[in-house]
Amino acid sequence: MRPRVYLAGPDVFLPDPARRAAALKAACAEAGLEGVSPLDALADEPADWAALPEWRRLHLRNEAHIRGCDALIANLTPFRSPSADAGTVYELGFMRALGRPVFGFTTSDAPFTRRTLAMLGTAARREPDGSWTDGDGLLVESFGLTDNLMIDGGIAAAGGTLVVGSVPAAARWTDMAVFRQCVGHAARVLAAGQELARK
């Protein structure tokens, strides 16, 4: 059976999310993985969820999808902020707590600190010790990472990969090359895991 990989990301907000999900799944299939999209119906959705408001149903469905997958790939392309989409980050932490492999990719190669300073603009302040703070005096993380250290750390601790691409802004939500690279890493890690399990 092909390993099932949950496809976390703000891709669900794209104008044609079903088309994007189909493209991502096709790339997964080519690498021997089964991509699971947040848009997918849940095979055994409890009947009583029908009474819940849509946002609660969507949340529960996503959590159930993640629990039903062997790994997670997160689209960590900065989303309306210096960081990745909040829902995606929640799901990354969720899967990491389950102890399964997590992977990430971003189509922007600007480091987290530089993105944060760009967003802060003139509100950024250089402190005497060389660190940066924002307009409220809160520290700007400066570890040279791709995003908040919990994101980079979670992927590293899970033995995953964080693929950083450099894609022109106009293509940052539609690019497939960086995703394919991440899927390749995931396929290799998951195949090695299956190999071990057979021994």
Residues near a second copy (CB under 8 A): 10, 13-15, 53-56, 58-60, 62-63, 66, 80-87, 89-98, 116, 119-120, 133-134, 136-141, 143, 145, 147-154, 156-157, 172-173
Asked whether the beta carbons of 143 and 150 are under 8 A apart, the reply is no
DSSP string, 77-109: ---SSSS--HHHHHHHHHHHHTT--EEEEES--
Identify which of residues 31 and 77 has a Cβ nearer to a second copy in the complex.
77
Nearest approach in angstroms of CB 59 to a second copy is 3
> 72 or 187: whose CB is closer to a second copy?
72
Question: Cβ 74 to a second copy, closest distance in Å?
Answer: 10
Looking at residue 163, what DSSP letter applies? E
Nearer to a second copy, 42 or 191 (CB): 42
Residues constituting the chain: 199
Min CB(116)–a second copy separation in Å: 7
Distance of closest approach, residue 171 Cβ to a second copy, in angstroms:
11
**Cβ closer to a second copy: 25 or 91?**
91
State the nearest-atom distance from the C-beta of 34 to a second copy, in Å.
21
The C-alpha atoms of residue 44 and residue 57 are separated, in whole angstroms, by 13
Min dist CB 174 to a second copy, Å, is: 10
Q: Which is nearer to a second copy, 132 or 191 (CB)?
A: 132
**Helix extents (H) in the chain:** 17-30, 54-67, 86-97, 112-120, 149-157, 177-198
The nearer residue to a second copy, 41 or 138, going by C-beta atoms, is: 138
Residues 145 and 112: beta-carbon distance below 8 Å: yes
Residue 146 to residues 27, 129, 140, 152, 155: CA-CA distances in angstroms?
24, 23, 13, 7, 11
